[in-house]
Amino acid sequence: MTNTIHTYERGQVVVLIMAVMVALLGFTALAVDGGRVYADRRDAQNAADNAALAAALAIINEGNHTTAALSIADINGFDNDGTTNTVLVYYPPTDGPYAGDDEYVQVKIWAVTDTSLIQFVWPDQLANQVEAVARAYGRNSPVSGNAIVTLGNCAVDGGNTIEITGGGNSGGVQAYGGGIWINTTESGSGCAIDPGNTGYGVTSDTGINSTGNYSYSGETNLSPTPINTGQNNGKPIDDPLSFLEEPQCTSSSTESGGNFTPGNINGSDLSNGGVLQPGIYCISGDVDVSGNNALSGEGVVLYFIDGGLRFTGNAGMTISAPTDSNCLGTEGDRTASCTYKGIAIFVSRSNSSSIEVRGNGGDAVFGLIYAINSTVQARGGGSSSDETNVVGQIISKRVEGNGSGSFKVTYDEDRTFEVPPIIELQQ
């Protein structure tokens, strides 16, 4: 039998070959131009990341964040010409999880990719759109400038974050030289502050600031009112010292004639008071100081692993945090008090025991009291000899004035922990 190839069959072969060639061209275009798109996207993302970090640094240094971001983007190949690429800078971000938060800056880059083959099978332009968000923490932080920073959120946890309890005509919580920060989302009612009906109430000479929108207008024993609402765009702040590792002691404290050396120590060993030599004291269990006993020390960090601090009778304390002149060890080492300059009391983040402060006719604490899951309180006093004063700052979950005591906190940026500027890429 003789095979015959008809003319119309040869035409079908040509069509099939053309179809295969188009498909092969598509796959080739996808491989070549797709790889180029991927490479361009990676370059654009790197440029956006670097531009966002540059903008964050400019914010910390109070410079022009837009100029800084555009300059770095240009160096990385994206000159914002409006045709082949566009670079947009938003401070604060306009969308996403950080929208409206002025701790963050956002950079978006849109860029066209030059293609070689894809236009034969895809008529539209190929472009990438990427974004980066960087955090610029340390400028206008609630930690800076506020004598009292309370991190409790009564709208979620219940209770009050600043409260006056007990009797007496001179009780109160008073902030001088700095404001009071209320980290609550309260809106319909004033759950955060309970100033009591007598005494000084809750006052600040530079204002009371809240992330919530309840203004406390007309509230008695609270000054000034209305308070400054909607701070930080209505978002509660996180632990401002989350980057700081907790202290560590590698040896045991010793005592001789009422003088203590730094190290691990049981709280009960301090119940009779004494003089603390400079360094870190890692305390396990409650410290109950009674009678006329007193705790004193300069350049010390009282680190409460568990347990709290209480005073009865005429007992009191006078302690000061480490400074440049009396701190020990190498900064950055958890066992070195130089790492914790400015912190007088550090309560473990897992410890919810209350910390009471009481002076002996003068200032009780010079430095920061850091107790983010604890209540810091003062008892007794008023204008009498055991009135409680803190010179530095308090960062805690709650602050309570109990009894007749006037809990005075005077903000002093030289006597608190210096929060270093933080610049970090978020996304």
SS3 80: coil
Return phi, psi of residue 147, to 5°. -70, -35
- Distance CA(5)–CA(8), nearest Å, equals 9
The model's pLDDT over 143-170, given as tens digits with 9 standing for 90+, comes to: 888 999 999 999 888 889 998 876 555 6
Q: How many residues does the chain have?
A: 427
DSSP state of 22: H
- Distance CA(351)–CA(276), nearest Å, equals 23
| Beta strands, E only, 166-262 | 172-176, 179-182, 193-194, 201-204, 208-210, 222-223, 255-256, 259-260
Nearest Cα neighbor of 35 from 96, 126, 124 is 126
Q: What is the pLDDT confidence band of residue 292, given thresholds at 50, 70 and 90?
A: confident
**Does 262 or 122 have the greater pLDDT score?**
262
SS3 36: helix
Share of the chain above pLDDT 70, in %: 83
Instruction: Report the pLDDT value the prediction gives residue 8, as an integer from 0 to 100.
Output: 53
- Integer distance in angstroms from the first to the last C-alpha of the chain? 73
**Most trustworthy range by pLDDT among 100-114, 223-237, 267-281:** 267-281
- Distance CA(229)–CA(226), nearest Å, equals 8
SS3 102: coil
The model's pLDDT over 41-96, given as tens digits with 9 standing for 90+, comes to: 888 999 999 999 999 999 988 899 999 999 999 999 999 999 999 999 999 999 99
The model's pLDDT over 309-334, given as tens digits with 9 standing for 90+, comes to: 998 888 889 999 999 999 999 999 99
The model's pLDDT over 235-247, given as tens digits with 9 standing for 90+, comes to: 888 898 998 999 9
Instruction: Report the pLDDT value the prediction gives residue 53, as an integer from 0 to 100.
Output: 95
Q: What is the DSSP string of 324-364?
A: TTT--S-TT-TT-GGGGTTEEEEE-TT----EE---SSS--
Quote the mean pLDDT of the chain. Answer: 86
Tokens, residue 73: 């983007």
Q: What is the dihedral sign for C-alpha 228, 231, 237, 241? A: negative
pTM check: above 0.85: no
Q: What is the dihedral sign for C-alpha 282, 285, 288, 293? A: negative
The model's pLDDT over 365-416, given as tens digits with 9 standing for 90+, comes to: 999 999 999 999 987 544 444 467 899 999 999 999 876 667 889 999 999 9
pLDDT above 90: residue 36: no
**Stretch 333-339: mean pLDDT, rounded?**
97
- What distances in angstroms separate CA 122 from CA 17, 21, 83, one per listed residue? 20, 15, 20
